Amino acid sequence: MKQPKPPLVVLTGPTAVGKTELSIRLAKSIGGEIISADSMQVYRGMDIGTAKITEEEKQGVPHFLLDELEPWEEFHVVLFQQKAKQYIKEIYSRGHIPVIVGGTGFYIQSVLYDIDFTKEDGAETDRKEKAARRGTSALRRVLEELAQAKGAVWLHQELERVDPVSARQIHPNNVKRVIRALEYYQQTGEPISVHNAREREKESPYAFCYFVLNQERAVLYERINRRIDQMIEDGLLEEVAGLREAGCDRSLVSMQGLGYKEILAYLEGECSLEEAVYRLKRDTRHFAKRQLTWFGREREVLWIQKEAFPDTEAILEFMIKQIEERVY
């Protein structure tokens, strides 16, 4: 007799496609509680630039992983996964269905396939460094310095030596990933390519529905452009200026978020406001495109092409039907 898998609903899609609004309607009709899978909305005080849902818009639906950290705290997949799993458990205990909503595909993947991040001891050994250096491990720092001093090609050759499979998969210029692979190998003695291959085979522990809301590219881009103009009107400049006064600078992961790094560049006199807005729009469009490629390679995804439905009601109906078939 096999245990029935617990239910899980995922609603994602490129930025500005309209996930938030739909998520509330969905959660209300299936008795769901929402877990945000968004690497920037976890931060307090970053509201306008992340297009965070307001209290009012939540309409009483519980939300998690929103406003849980200060902008100078670190956040990454592993943390996300830990917290999300905890919340999922709690939601089950209330007899509700967890609905993961957000555009960070990597985060979604980490819980959906319960990717194993525990092999490494990095998190332990770094603890004392963490406070000072934003969680950058000593080993990682050494590798970063080596990359700086000896160059990307040299570093890549080091990887070639210990993990030729990864070396072939990671472009030499992608220093960040080369470092990660090297770091993994040095900490575990196992090539990360072996780990990745293993994790990739995993079957999800959940009975899930993975919805990707999408719409015609041109329309989406238009929405993005408009949304950014709106953010400026709503006071994005003030929001970023406030964070800056609070001591946030561009070295913070949070300040690398779209809308923050561009406006910070403007506030620091690096470019005109017009230029900053132009870059922000462009980078956001690029981001949406990258999100779509990501979802395109995920398995078992249910695409919802907006223009194929007459209205939101019809989309909701489709989603509920899918959930009934697959999740219960």
Partner RNA sequence: GGCGACGUAGCCAAGCGGUAAGGCGUGGGUCUGCAACACCCUGAUCACCGGUCCGAAUCCGGUCGUCGCCU
* Closest distance of CB 46 from RNA, Å: 8
User: Residue 260 carries which side chain, given as an amino acid letter?
Assistant: Y
- Residue 53's alpha-carbon distances to 12, 34, 39, in angstroms, are 15, 12, 14
Instruction: Out of 90, 186, 190, 221, point to the residue binding RNA (CB under 7 A).
Output: 221
- Interface with RNA: number of residues (CB under 7 A): 65
Per CB under 7 A, 67 contacts RNA: no
* Closest distance of CB 237 from RNA, Å: 15
Instruction: Out of 107, 185, 206, 211, point to the residue binding RNA (CB under 7 A).
Output: 107
* Closest distance of CB 48 from RNA, Å: 10
Per CB under 7 A, 264 contacts RNA: no
Instruction: Out of 23, 50, 214, 215, point to the residue binding RNA (CB under 7 A).
Output: 50
112 with 8: CB under 8 angstroms?
Answer: yes
Per CB under 7 A, 298 contacts RNA: no
Backbone angles phi, psi at 7, to 5 degrees: -80, 145
State which of positions 241-260 bind RNA (CB under 7 A).
Answer: 253, 256-259
* Closest distance of CB 94 from RNA, Å: 27
Between 52 and 88, CB nearer to RNA: 52
If we measure between CA atoms, which residue out of 5, 226, 222, 182 comes closest to residue 97?
Answer: 5
71 with 47: CB under 8 angstroms?
Answer: no
Between 93 and 293, CB nearer to RNA: 293
> HSE-up of 179 (CA within 13 Å, CB side)?
19
How does DSSP classify residue 69?
Answer: B
Per CB under 7 A, 71 contacts RNA: no
- From 121-129, 233-241, 266-274, 317-325, give the range in contact with RNA by CB under 7 A: 121-129
Helix H segments across the chain? Answer: 19-30, 55-58, 77-93, 105-112, 122-125, 127-133, 138-150, 152-162, 164-169, 175-188, 192-200, 217-233, 236-245, 260-267, 273-297, 312-326
What is the spatial distance between Cα 313 and Cα 319, in angstroms, rounded to a whole number?
10
What is the spatial distance between Cα 246 and Cα 284, in angstroms, rounded to a whole number?
25
- From 206-214, 281-289, 301-309, 313-321, give the range in contact with RNA by CB under 7 A: 281-289
State which of positions 5-44 bind RNA (CB under 7 A).
Answer: 15, 38-41
Per CB under 7 A, 234 contacts RNA: no
Give the x-and-dash track for 171-210 against RNA (CB under 7 A): x-xxxxx-xx---x-------x--xx--xx----------
* Closest distance of CB 235 from RNA, Å: 16
- Residue 233's alpha-carbon distances to 54, 226, 236, 277, in angstroms, are 17, 11, 7, 12
Angle CA 288–291–295, to nearest 5: 140
Lookup: tokens for 119 = 């092999």
Residues in touch with RNA (CB under 7 A): 15, 38-41, 49-51, 75-78, 103-107, 109-110, 113, 115, 117, 120, 122-123, 126, 135-136, 140, 144, 169, 171, 173-177, 179-180, 184, 192, 195-196, 199-200, 217, 221, 253, 256-259, 282-283, 285-287, 289-294, 296-297
